[in-house]
Amino acid sequence: MPPTSKQPASRVDATTGNVIPMSSFEKFCRVMATRAVAETEERSFDETVIEDILTAETEEEMWTADDRGPLGGRDLAGVRMICDKVEVKWSSNQEIRSPFTDPDSGRVFYLLITSHRTDDAKYTGKRPDIKNGDPFQWNTSAPRLVAKLMWLEGHNRLNQDVIIESIELGAGQQVLKLRPAPSGFVNQSGPTLDEASAESPDSPF
78-130, pLDDT tens digit by residue? 899 999 999 998 887 767 777 888 878 888 889 999 999 998 887 767 777 78
Q: What is the pLDDT of residue 108?
A: 87
On average, the pLDDT of the chain sits at 76
Helix axes 143-154, 24-35, angle to 10 degrees: 80
Residue 137's SS3 state is: strand
pTM of the full predicted structure? 0.68
Task: State how far the alpha carbon of 199 is from the alpha carbons of 34, 52, 88, 150, in Å.
Answer: 19, 43, 21, 16
- CA-to-CA distance for 94 and 109, rounded, in angstroms? 11
Mean pLDDT for 63-84 is 85
Looking at per-residue confidence, does 52 or 38 come out higher?
A: 52
Q: What is the pLDDT of residue 53?
A: 87
